[in-house]
Structure 1
């Protein structure tokens, strides 16, 4: 009766298979598989096994902001990254002398094979990623999985990823990245680099092929290619209309050093498209101001004081003008790129338009040096990544108002209001940058830590969703190290991949509600999937070293979200076939207000706005859908073993209008034919009907 049928949810398996194949074709297991990701704060980032990024397109985080999309990581800003090391009067492992040489560790040569050699990539966390269970099934992330990290109490931050790699210069690199749950510090990630002259030129750490070389004229360069909001499927990504500025190398600048990018006005649009407004909804798709900042640079191998004259080179120019061995550049030309001493302030003022050839598609190189580096000695350089932007909700609502001609901001209207609002993202970036400097100044370990996120369990009940949680392994003492723990808050959304969540309930603290570990949500609609997270919060009494002493702190809003498996209120199965219906009927596409699309066919994930529900079903059923010509469109089982949101023992089954040929159905009239059985397999007969799709 229940033969295996096609299900659109199997496309998720196809996506994972594609990812796996992409990893395997790299030919290096560490490059392909041992990636680690920070997904605890608003800024998400994936750390690869060296200082560059592969040329293929895996699922990863690339300065993703704001985080929240666990499937596609939309909101990416980082297109390319590289770490260069320059030396003079150097002899390579084959005995060849080089007057000058640069080890090009990306970005133009992707994984930089032959230049960089992965050694290890490990993630440690203060608190384990919580378990999230929906109707008895674990909700598992693609990138930041529970088993991908180990617990360590003595960390300087909530998360630390330590990556080690060797280079062909004999200088090995250790990069430690730090991320925080504290909402005052969750929009930046600190990158601490240690460069050591250990003579190792490959992934085997027991040998030192270039031991004993006293390296001179050493430069360390960090190359960045950033496109604000540069996601796939985002048509504005190829317009190359971005500006870049460097702040911090001029008298009166208040920050140690900050390189940042932002979207400009495209020449291919007939209207002002700063912020890349969506052509249908007006949503601002590129409001981000992504930046790379400087926190520290050693004065020398024997002097750990911060050298405020560094970086010695800030080079910003079009991608086509940057040197690379992939373009045939010489070793001397590469070294000159690192050591030029230029102190660029960016592309603003160089040309009136961001798409002019003098500034189009800007790449930035921040270089530190020159250093002497004797055998066994090290140089430490500390950077940070940060992003500022208006919120997702603002981008949607203000974008709609701009498109409707009703937007006003600070006394401005129209394009002026749009651009002024988006420009506040720069203020946010500078605030995050100053907080990164504050954290480094007082010591990362002194940033106050909120209570840990609890494990989350969601169960679909009759007319409700049952939410329960527990922190740690001891229910009687859930917060043994958090004497200022105060209570819990419950947040909910009907869309899993964005940040449009609303707090719906809290207990403990000053709420007046007794502390508990359970909440039943009755304010739910039948057939709609809901997504939750539960946070722990404190009373602020232990917050003595933060930016705002005494401020109450709350755990990460991302650690225990359900995103793959929705929870929905259930209705018991029908005992007959008399009440089977399709809702809504007619269906009219109107899901654009919060991120819907006009794309013809779905990609890797189902779109919430396409959902239809078959209601009034018996315990077991087979649903067949036909065109008016009698062609079979799709066959759906109830319950559907391939649909993680299908609930056994309920009267409902959802369908996202995906045919057996993986296409979104078109406007028209469709017929359904349903056969049904009770729990014991007794036939209940059949029924049929029709529904209308309007797109």
Structure 2
């Protein structure tokens, strides 16, 4: 919405403005980001809070450790002191520099929230939970789970051996868990896991991961949000948000509207790569990144991407808001999709191995969307499923979904009316105004969707079920399907492949535009999941595998046959027939390469040795169980014929394959094979070597995937390494004491850890502290070129 229109509505309302600002400060002071939970089961990772927002609040540095619609999900930009406690303490971190952490994460939002608009006794009021700090009438609550349908749901899941705190509890609700109580401002949402290693979901009509939050607004309106996610490869490109509003007050609430505020953006990694990171947030201070196209299918004159082959008719009645990357005016290069070029990579946007992406790899290929799945009891679309129809929810008096947008011009310069201090009556009128035409050109906007009006008597409830959904062309390109598995390769494998094709600008844009079709396909999968009452074909169980290195400095993967003993309740029999081992040498989100398939033979323990893994290099692994193909499927009234075509094909032709999106399914911190200790090394009977030598970050083959780290190999298992400059100054001291290893790393830091060393010639002296060779020395030299 234009600034001039907001000014037109501004009017008086200064007292209201003062109250708003006061309330925002109060909410800010009370807000505790540690009281949030991170949803990581699907490819869409997000953070939820009982204050009713998701992600973070715009430009609030205290919240930048939160996930913000990260797709594909990854370990991004964490800050140890600010990190909520339900991710990094499970899986560890990559120990990257601050700048690298801030550059990598593919965030698609700077925070999202909910709107409640009331008009009681002539007083118009608007409440919000985000992306700005909550209005003064917003208060967190603790959901009464013992009296909810989820009372008997859940499994107590714990960190596996691959994590850093083995045995630490991850889910916080399951039968026997203690319900939350006490200060609601410090209470985390409930997190329920309907999954664990080597079993199928115990509750067949429930999602795999469930989060529940509760929030109270003015007039005692209570919002209960239930968020759902799956790792199933046909249902992992979205999360579903089930939102119930209840009038727990004593007043009739006529002409009440409910809405959603979103800040969709594609994406922070693309912006960082070309223009530099924004401190681990999306703050719009990189003007070159403000180049998205925004579309709302309910807007006057809506038209989709002209290159996708879709028409407005394909979007009829879907009410979907979405964004996709355009071409910035800040560069001579055509940059739709942010194609990677090492010559254009901003030093403030790089991270270890970022330069390994082929030239032309699209960094921002996603279509990011938001759409309703249900909000009424009858009609041609968006009708409640059987479970919700039985609850007696009040219908809106209109089937229209309103949509508005507000331009983000730059850091703290956004046209949203809340940020501009518009008064309450004016806010109500702005948000209930007719839908706006889409922006005519690229940019970045904040947007809303408004539902209503509702007339709610005391005790009445309304419900809106929505989905955050993503898609990219690799989801639907036939050439991206792996003929060995029948499944599409992951996003990063596809994106690297696009780069390797060497497409010109027009061809690249044509390919990327097919992401619009993928967006609608994935939305249809979300719609099916909801309509079916969350009865979807069971994906094979997660495999709990161990990963380490053997005596030959190769990575060794092992796991038991427990998954193949799991009984699939849909068929009453065990159906796991194989295991597939995938490897990535880039990051923990891919690209994934299938390196081995092993038949399930009830072997007790399986072992895979990656003989192609090289000491010092980074490797990430994922083991997926594979189920046999099926010729029938039904869950209640839902049958095989009702499944979306792609889901039906995977179930019946190739057989389902386990997921790779969730951290439970993979190695999250890259592994580096290491040289084992030996008698020769302990006795210093061979020369200690520095690898690589010479070292260079920029030259191929002279670093470990771009990491500023080198290895001393052939060491006694206990020794001291002293490093000197060519002038004889001591640069660093490294103490190695590990009875299993004959090597150690140096991260190119000086001995005071105050800075990185410079290019030049260096000498080293290794002094053995092993009994058999105590005091024996080994000397050498190496060259750094940075």
Q: Same fold (TM over 0.5)?
A: yes
Give the C-alpha shift of residue 376 in structure 1: 1.2
Do 1:388 and 1:432's aligned partners in 2 also have CA atoms closer than 8 Å?
yes
User: 3-state DSSP class of the match of 1:169?
Assistant: helix
Do 1:671 and 1:688's aligned partners in 2 also have CA atoms closer than 8 Å?
yes
Give the Cα separation in 2 of the matches to 1:305 and 1:184.
Answer: 32
* Structure 1: gaps of 5 or more residues: 1-24, 91-97, 200-211, 355-359, 409-413, 597-605, 640-646
Q: Which residue of 2 aligns with 1:21?
A: none
Q: Select 1:58's aligned residue among 50, 56, 64.
A: 64
Give the Cα separation in 2 of the matches to 1:120 and 1:638.
Answer: 51
Q: Name whichever structure is richer in strand by fraction.
A: 1
Distance 1:128 1:694, change over 3 A: farther
* Structure 2: gaps of 5 or more residues: 1-26, 77-92, 94-100, 175-189, 195-201, 276-283, 303-311, 346-358, 379-388, 475-490, 635-639
Q: Which residue of 2 aligns with 1:35?
A: 36
Distance 1:267 1:567, change over 3 A: closer
Do 1:674 and 1:688's aligned partners in 2 also have CA atoms closer than 8 Å?
yes
Give the Cα separation in 1 of the matches to 2:757 and 2:153.
Answer: 45
Is structure 2 residue 589 aligned with structure 1 residue 498? Answer: yes
Q: RMSD value over aligned CA atoms?
A: 3.6
Give the Cα separation in 2 of the matches to 1:370 and 1:393.
Answer: 46
Distance 1:121 1:226, change over 3 A: farther
Give the C-alpha shift of residue 219 in structure 1: 0.4
Q: Which residue of 2 aligns with 1:277?
A: 339
Q: Deviations over 1:145-190 (max 9, x none)?
A: 9998444532511111111111133111111111112111100111
Give the Cα separation in 2 of the matches to 1:407 and 1:217.
Answer: 56
Give the C-alpha shift of residue 415 in structure 1: 1.2
Is structure 2 residue 268 aligned with structure 1 residue 230? Answer: yes
Q: Deviations over 1:661-689 (max 9, x none)?
A: 354433222222222222x5861412222
Q: Which residue of 1 aligns with 2:401?
A: 312
Do 1:37 and 1:143's aligned partners in 2 also have CA atoms closer than 8 Å?
no
Q: Normalization by structure 1: what TM-score? A: 0.78
Give the C-alpha shift of residue 447 in structure 1: 1.0
Q: Which residue of 1 aligns with 2:675?
A: 570
User: 3-state DSSP class of the match of 1:430?
Assistant: helix
Is structure 2 residue 630 aligned with structure 1 residue 522? Answer: no
Q: Deviations over 1:262-319 (max 9, x none)?
A: 1221111112122223424544322221110111113699964977954431112314
Do 1:26 and 1:32's aligned partners in 2 also have CA atoms closer than 8 Å?
no
Q: Select 1:364's aligned residue among 440, 444, 447.
A: 447
Q: Residues 654-673 of structure 1: matches in 2 within 5 Å?
A: 654-659=745-750, 660-673=752-765
Do 2:119 and 2:256's aligned partners in 1 also have CA atoms closer than 8 Å?
yes
Give the Cα separation in 1 of the matches to 2:611 and 2:623.
Answer: 17
Do 2:564 and 2:577's aligned partners in 1 also have CA atoms closer than 8 Å?
no
Q: Normalization by structure 2: what TM-score? A: 0.70
Q: Residues 48-87 of structure 1: matches in 2 within 5 Å?
A: 48-52=49-53, 53-54=56-57, 55-56=60-61, 57-69=63-75, 71=93, 72=101, 74-87=105-118
Is structure 2 residue 455 aligned with structure 1 residue 377? Answer: no
Do 1:127 and 1:158's aligned partners in 2 also have CA atoms closer than 8 Å?
no
Q: Select 1:579's aligned residue among 687, 690, 693.
A: 687
Give the Cα separation in 2 of the matches to 1:637 and 1:650.
Answer: 13
Q: Deviations over 1:101-158 (max 9, x none)?
A: 11122223x2445434343599998666574435x96579999999984445325111
Distance 1:416 1:188, change over 3 A: same
Give the C-alpha shift of residue 228 in structure 1: 0.6
Distance 1:299 1:219, change over 3 A: farther
Distance 1:476 1:264, change over 3 A: closer
Q: Name whichever structure is richer in helix by fraction.
A: 2
Give the Cα separation in 2 of the matches to 1:121 and 1:187.
Answer: 30
Is structure 2 residue 613 aligned with structure 1 residue 613? Answer: no
Give the Cα separation in 2 of the matches to 1:570 and 1:130.
Answer: 31
Distance 1:591 1:46, change over 3 A: farther
Give the C-alpha shift of residue 75 in structure 1: 0.9
Count residues with an aligned counterpart.
605
Deviates more, 1:186-195 or 1:570-579: 570-579
Q: Which residue of 2 aligns with 1:296?
A: 374
Q: Deviations over 1:448-468 (max 9, x none)?
A: 121221222223211133322
Give the Cα separation in 2 of the matches to 1:267 and 1:422.
Answer: 19
Q: Residues 131-530 of structure 1: matches in 2 within 5 Å?
A: 131-134=159-162, 138=165, 149-152=191-194, 153-154=202-203, 156-199=206-249, 212-231=250-269, 233-236=272-275, 238-239=286-287, 240-247=290-297, 252=313, 253-254=315-316, 256-278=318-340, 279-280=344-345, 281-298=359-376, 304=393, 310-319=399-408, 322-340=415-433, 342-347=434-439, 350=440, 353-354=441-442, 360-389=443-472, 390=474, 391-399=491-499, 407-408=502-503, 414-444=504-534, 446-463=535-552, 464-470=554-560, 477-479=565-567, 481=569, 483-508=574-599, 516-530=605-619
User: 3-state DSSP class of the match of 1:426?
Assistant: helix
Give the Cα separation in 2 of the matches to 1:529 and 1:675.
Answer: 28
Give the Cα separation in 2 of the matches to 1:567 and 1:145.
Answer: 33
Q: Deviations over 1:165-217 (max 9, x none)?
A: 11133111111111112111100111110001113xxxxxxxxxxxx111111
Give the C-alpha shift of residue 619 in structure 1: 1.0
